[in-house]
Amino acid sequence: MSKGPAKTIADITKGFAKHQYICSEQISTAVYLANELEKPILIEGPPGVGKTELANTAALYYKKALLRLQCYEGLDETKALYEWRYGKQLLYTQILKEQMQEVLEGAKGLKDSLDRLMEFEDIFFSEQFLESRPLLKSLTSSEGTVLLIDEVDKADEEFEALLLEILSEFQVSIPELGVKKAVVKPLVILTSNNSREIGDALKRRCLHLYIPFPDAKLEREIIQARVPEISKNLQIQLVDFVQGLRELDLKKLPAISETIDWAKTLILLNADELSQELAKSTLNVLLKHQQDIDVVQKEVPRLVMASDG
Amino acid sequence: MERVLTDFVKTLRNVNIRVSPAETLDATEVIEKVGYDDRELLKNTLSLALSKTPSEKEKFDTCFDDFFREKLSSDETPVREVPDLPTDQTANSDLAQHLLSDSYSDIELSISKAGEEAEIREIKYFTQRAVFSRRILDIMGVGKLEEELSLLGQANKDGLPSDFEQKLRNELTHLRERVSDYVQQQFLMHGDVTGEQLREQVFKSMNMGQIDRSYLHEVHSLVRRMAKKLANMHSRRKKNFRRGKLDIRKTIQDNWVNQGILFNLRWSYKKVDRPKILVICDVSGSVGAYARFMLMFLFSLTEVVSKIRAFVFSSHLGEVTDKFKGGNLEDSIESALSKYGGGSTDYSHAFSDFVSLCIDEIDKKTTVVILGDARNNFGPEKAELLKSVYERSKQVYWLNPEGKYRWNTGDSVMNTYSAYCTKVFECGTLEQLERVISTLLKTAI
């Protein structure tokens, strides 16, 4: 049975809303397509708009385990893909040495010994000694997973190349063992903050989703879902205020996560509506740079007035 | 329907959204899932599959709206009201009947049919618009209509056109407008950027001294892209690897011979950091026409390469790195030109300034690039200064904007200086400049 795509997409939007993730139609379309076509999604957008959260929610929605790989400079395959258990391997060679006597017992001459040695099963490079890291884990899992590769722009360019095989074929080649294919193809979500341009080869293999700052309506819905105890009046004022802030020339614009934090702060302070003093004294929740706070201090009266209107 | 998609992809490529064949295949797959019925859904899905940066997304949105408005308009526009005509007069030519009796969208449809016949897709240049408009009108049978109109005109005795004739004339004017709109739209879709690419091609191969200053902006975006491409291509070498980290895998592999006892330790190797580049740019009168572009390239390079220091001179030399970093292009160039530019060249002075300013910084990892025509106004050459720079540095490149045949003529002392350069390049066009800088970044390790 297959429902129409529009219906499924609406279902995703609803399902995500149950997990307090309010998404635009673009986002749910992306999730739908990623799931249907088994393609990774590359999400870009300013920090704090819910890129990582999308992966969390997708995991909840599809009831799959979330495997997260946080990228950073210098991340290599031993951290991302697999590593050999060196300690165990060393012990194994020790045991082997002791066992060697038995294997070679009765062998005549060097050639015979060598033949026996060749016949002897070698498990030095085998799965027993393989330590899976997130990428390999997500491929070998039999239940299917949501694989989140977070901030892929922070990793080196070489790491992108490593991802290519996994993202397009859902397989990895381990030189000592051969190709490992995915048991169940995971839903892959990559996020990037655009601290550097992602390579074309990687982009080509992904659906590309850009999440911008939300418009006022969507942001209100998000606040409503995340901070339900907020009063209607305050909620509208707050969102208008933040929307106004985003039009200023600031070093770091407040994102949704900051709006949510601010809403929680105001609730904690038992506020019913936004006054100038209140806004001024709690600005540091919204803005993370002293310069920005200085700029906004002057603008507070205007912004509060605007959000009143 | 596949034709629609490929047409759309072509349109996207025209506005500089790069779509690979594989992505086109993705898009077909995507469309199979969602179909063409839901416009908003189609837009969202295609946007996911085809546009891959925020700026591309923006372009994609407008492009999608343009493209599919045109395609879908036939069932959106309302039926035009056809006013009653005096019955004693009927139009003779097909086109006139068509214009008078059919709905707006039908006419639109026949325009685009005629457009297909006229191979409007092939439109490339701005100047072809009139030709295509005429061709489409001809295919639609405007000739007959014109004949009919002239007959009608002759039939009028009082010299005033009848209502019917007036109406027909209005319709014709209206049709002409619509055809020219249609051609314009098609041109934007199929032709515009091919023109831009052509222009870029021309800019690239044109002598920099001859590019008009009013094109500065277009050229800058081109130069910047070139600089960025170059820097990207070579940035792999930039990575600064952490040192002092044990490479366990290699250590164990290398120590099998010691019966697994870790005797020889192996470390993760450290990659060499990007070298220093010092660029000296001549901005004197003799290279005046080039200076602007040289500076532009210099500016773009400082934007994308971190360890670069920029100097300019005509008689005395000064550093402009700080001005360039974080400034905007025009201000930086103007301030550099007004402070240092325009004077007569004095290489000896400039070199001695340069040597006293930063000879200590030059070491075996440093690349020095000199942009200039080596025209010294018959002044002292002081080649020994360049020699000292050459001996301390890894390499010295000289980029001369003049054609080779002009070197060593008049007051040019290229030969004297070239003895102390690793290599001398002729570099009069942006294309040459690009090639030179590419070699430079490749070898500047």
ipTM field: 0.80
> A72 with A198, same domain?
yes
Q: What is the least distance, in Å, from the CA of A209 to any CA of chain B? A: 6
- Among A210, A236, A265, which residue terminates a domain? A210
> A292 with A159, same domain?
no
In a domain, A302, yes or no: no
In a domain, A38, yes or no: yes
Question: Where do the structural domains in chain B lie, given as residue ranges?
Answer: 2-75, 94-194, 274-443
Per-residue pLDDT tens digits of chain B, which is 445 residues long:
677 888 888 888 877 788 888 889 888 888 888 888 888 888 888 998 888 888 788 888 888 887 776 554 444 444 444 444 444 566 667 777 777 777 777 777 888 888 888 887 777 776 788 888 888 888 888 888 888 888 877 777 666 677 777 888 888 888 888 888 788 777 766 765 555 666 677 777 777 666 776 676 677 777 777 777 666 665 554 444 445 677 777 787 788 777 767 777 777 665 544 557 888 888 887 776 777 777 777 777 776 666 778 888 887 888 887 777 766 777 777 888 888 877 777 888 888 888 888 888 888 878 888 888 888 888 887 888 888 888 888 888 888 888 888 888 888 888 888 888 888 888 878 788 778 777 776 665 4
Contact A218, A24 (CB under 8 A): yes
> A269 with A255, same domain?
yes
What DSSP character marks residue B75?
A: G
Number of residues assigned to chain B: 445
On chain B, the residues whose CB falls within 8 A of the CB of A44 are 53-54
Q: What is the least distance, in Å, from the CA of A305 to any CA of chain B? A: 32
On chain A, the residues whose CB falls within 8 A of the CB of B51 are 208
Q: Is B8 exposed, middle or buried (0-12, 13-18, 19+ CB in 10 A)?
A: buried
Bridge partners for A180 per DSSP: A172
In a domain, A15, yes or no: yes
- Among A210, A226, A248, which residue terminates a domain? A210
The pTM of this model reads: 0.65
In chain A, how many domains are there?
3
Q: How many Cα atoms are found within 13 Å in the side-chain-facing hemisphere of B113?
A: 10
List B residues 250-269 in contact with A (Cβ-Cβ < 8 A). Answer: 252, 259-260
Contact A96, A50 (CB under 8 A): no
What DSSP character marks residue B364?
A: T
On chain B, the residues whose CB falls within 8 A of the CB of A93 are 259-260
Print the domain residue range for A19: 5-79+136-210
Among chain A residues, the shortest Cα distance to B261 is held by A90
> A278 with A157, same domain?
no
- Among A210, A229, A244, which residue terminates a domain? A210
Interchain contact, A29 vs B22, CB within 8 Å = no
In this structure, the number of other CB atoms found within 10 A of the CB of residue A217 comes to 9
In a domain, A39, yes or no: yes
Helix (H) / strand (E) element for B107: namely helix B104-117
> A159 with A204, same domain?
yes
Contacts of B277 (CB under 8 A, 6+ apart): B305, B307, B308, B309, B366, B367, B368, B369, B440, B444
Q: How far is CA B264 from the centre of its chain?
A: 54
Interchain contact, A207 vs B252, CB within 8 Å = no
Rounded Cα gap, residues A260 and A241, in angstroms = 13
> A187 with A290, same domain?
no
In this structure, the number of other CB atoms found within 10 A of the CB of residue A85 comes to 13
3-state class (DSSP) for residue A63: coil
On chain A, the residues whose CB falls within 8 A of the CB of B18 are 200
In a domain, A202, yes or no: yes
**Overall fold of domain B274-443:** Rossmann fold (3.40.50)
A30–B contact, CB cutoff 8 A: yes
> A165 with A69, same domain?
yes
Interchain contact, B38 vs A6, CB within 8 Å = yes
> A222 with A170, same domain?
no
Contacts of B247 (CB under 8 A, 6+ apart): B266, B267, B268, B269
B202–A contact, CB cutoff 8 A: no
Angle at A34 between CA A31 and CA A36, to 5 degrees: 105
On chain B, the residues whose CB falls within 8 A of the CB of A36 are 33
CATH (domain of A71): 3.40.50.300
